[in-house]
Amino acid sequence: MLGSTIRTQVAIVGAGPAGLLLGQLLHKHGIDNVILERQSGEYVLGRVRAGVIEQGTMDLLDEAGVGARMHEDGLVHEGVQICVDGIRHRLSFKELTGKTVMVYGQTEITKDLMDGRAAAGAPTVYSADDVALHDLFGDQPRVTYRAGGKAHEVACDFIAGCDGFHGVSRKSVPQSAIATHERVYPLGWLGILADTPPVSEELIYVRHAHGFALCSMRSPTRSRYYIQCSLAEDIDAWPDDRFWEELKPRLDDEARRRLVTGPSIEKSIAPLRSFVAEPMRFGRLFLAGDASHIVPPTGAKGLNLAASDVRYLAQALAEHYVEKSAAGLDHYSQRALARVWKAERFSWWMTTLLHNISDNHFDRKLQLAELDYLFRSKAAATAFAENYVGLPY
């Protein structure tokens, strides 16, 4: 049964942070847009993801008009700590770069963006099934989907593919038109979320003979911990007590004393992968966020890279509609990928530096030498801090 045909300027596929942020920024520029999302709104809001955001991402959320709660509840971090075999070393972002980062969960960002979109009265279609992209290289692209038992169509000028690694957008591109680059790491992160106070006011990255660990947080009363694990692990084989007992030996004495254990409210295993698909433009389709690239979470770049893509794309679309210039759209892929590859490099570097990836003693000695250089050299520490807080756009 035929349903509605909607006409808009930009059709956005995916209602995660990237799609919602793009929609909000376009609305601020007076550009009509419709967001289509395969999952329900409750499912999208329930996903537990990143928690560290760069200043550039904070600025974009402010520009989108949804930053008030972030500034009220977010935790500003002026540095980070790296623990090597039981000894902690602090690297101050504030002293080295004059910048900071903020801990504010992706779930909270998604909620703020959803509330902002609802307040703007901009349309979002959740539970949109069988989404398909058409005529990407023509002048009149379309997106079709099914909802409420009926077929619907969105006619538009441009399509923004913000639907993640497994979404339909990248899959709609002819294989001959796209190049993919990938590195899959032989390990994963077993993560746990608990309503317990964090062991530190700053993140602690742990390099240990038992494997990597990360002590993070979502608030002063909610902690997020990760430990390195095999990809063959079964999440059901990890009751809470086993996780805590595996984490404790990796911590330094102070963190171990401050560790408060408790029941988990979320637990998952995430594989580590580096992935880039290029270019990021195909006719009238523009990819953004995980639809085009994936980074291992070690460098806290995933959400921030998606935000930088959105920044470039929103600016380019505003130039097209407001200034009647195609320059931003023509250079979108090149500009976005230049920043993507730098973030891929940093995330790869941090991952190989802090994890037990190889049993080769030479490789492990190199890790220790690199860490010693990082802690002793202001130039090395500054380069680390510049990348962690976010490179300039």
pLDDT for 4 equals: 81
**Residue of higher predicted confidence among 216 and 148:** 216
Same domain? 162 vs 302: yes
Residue 84 lies in a domain: no
Same domain? 165 vs 46: yes
pLDDT for 348 equals: 97
**Residue of higher predicted confidence among 49 and 392:** 392
Residue 89 lies in a domain: no
Active site residue 123: no
Catalytic residue selected from 226, 312, 332, 388: 388
pLDDT for 254 equals: 97
Residue 80 — very low, low, confident or very high, per pLDDT cuts 50/70/90? very high
Residue 369 lies in a domain: yes
CATH number, domain of 307, equals: 3.50.50.60
Asked, as a colleague might, if the bond just before 279 is cis with ω within 30 of 0, I would say: yes
CA separation, residue 117 to residues 121, 129, 229 (Å): 6, 21, 39
Active site residue 388: yes
The residues facing 358 across adjacent strands are none
CA separation, residue 210 to residues 84, 349, 366 (Å): 12, 20, 17
Nearest to 111 by CA among 49, 200, 36: 49
Beta strands per DSSP E along 195-307: 204-207, 213-219, 222-229, 264-278, 281-282, 285-287, 293-294
* Widest Cα–Cα separation across the chain: 68
pLDDT for 358 equals: 87
Q: What residues contact 138, with CB distance under 8 A and at least 6 apart?
A: 283, 284
Helix axes 361-376, 378-389, angle to 10 degrees: 90
- Cα–Cα distance for residue pair 154/6, rounded to 1 Å: 5
pLDDT for 210 equals: 93
Dump pLDDT digits (tens) for 202-259.
999 999 999 999 999 999 999 999 999 999 999 999 999 999 999 999 999 999 999 9
Same domain? 158 vs 287: yes
The answer on pLDDT for 267 being more than 60 is: yes
Residue 2 — very low, low, confident or very high, per pLDDT cuts 50/70/90? low
Catalytic residue selected from 205, 226, 321, 332: 205
- Cα–Cα distance for residue pair 15/48, rounded to 1 Å: 15
Active site residue 77: yes
Residue 92 lies in a domain: no
Please name the helix (run of DSSP H) or strand (run of DSSP E) that holds residue 176, with its range, or none.
Answer: none
Residue 205 lies in a domain: yes
Q: What is the mean pLDDT of residues 346-375?
A: 95
Same domain? 67 vs 205: no
Dump pLDDT digits (tens) for 336-354.
999 999 999 999 999 999 9
Active site residue 104: no
Residue 83 lies in a domain: no
Dump pLDDT digits (tens) for 292-346.
999 999 999 999 999 999 999 999 999 999 999 999 999 999 999 999 999 999 9
The first and second tokens of residue 125, run together, are 């279609």
The answer on pLDDT for 1 being more than 80 is: no
Catalytic residue selected from 27, 77, 152, 355: 77
Lowest mean pLDDT among 1-10, 74-83, 216-225, 272-281: 1-10
How many percent of the chain have pLDDT more than 90?
Answer: 93
Same domain? 263 vs 375: yes
The answer on pLDDT for 66 being more than 70 is: yes
Active site residue 205: yes
Same domain? 12 vs 147: yes
Same domain? 21 vs 117: yes
Same domain? 289 vs 341: yes
Catalytic residue selected from 293, 301, 320, 355: 301
CATH number, domain of 260, equals: 3.30.9.10
Residue 88 lies in a domain: no
- Cα–Cα distance for residue pair 377/355, rounded to 1 Å: 22
Same domain? 346 vs 224: no
Same domain? 235 vs 376: yes
Same domain? 263 vs 285: no
Domain extent at residue 243 = 185-272+356-389
How many percent of the chain have pLDDT more than 70?
Answer: 99
Number of domains observed in the structure of the chain: 2
Considering the chain, what is the average pLDDT of its residues? 95
- Cα–Cα distance for residue pair 44/126, rounded to 1 Å: 9
Residue 122 lies in a domain: yes
pLDDT for 118 equals: 95
pLDDT for 48 equals: 65
The answer on pLDDT for 47 being more than 80 is: no
Same domain? 264 vs 301: no
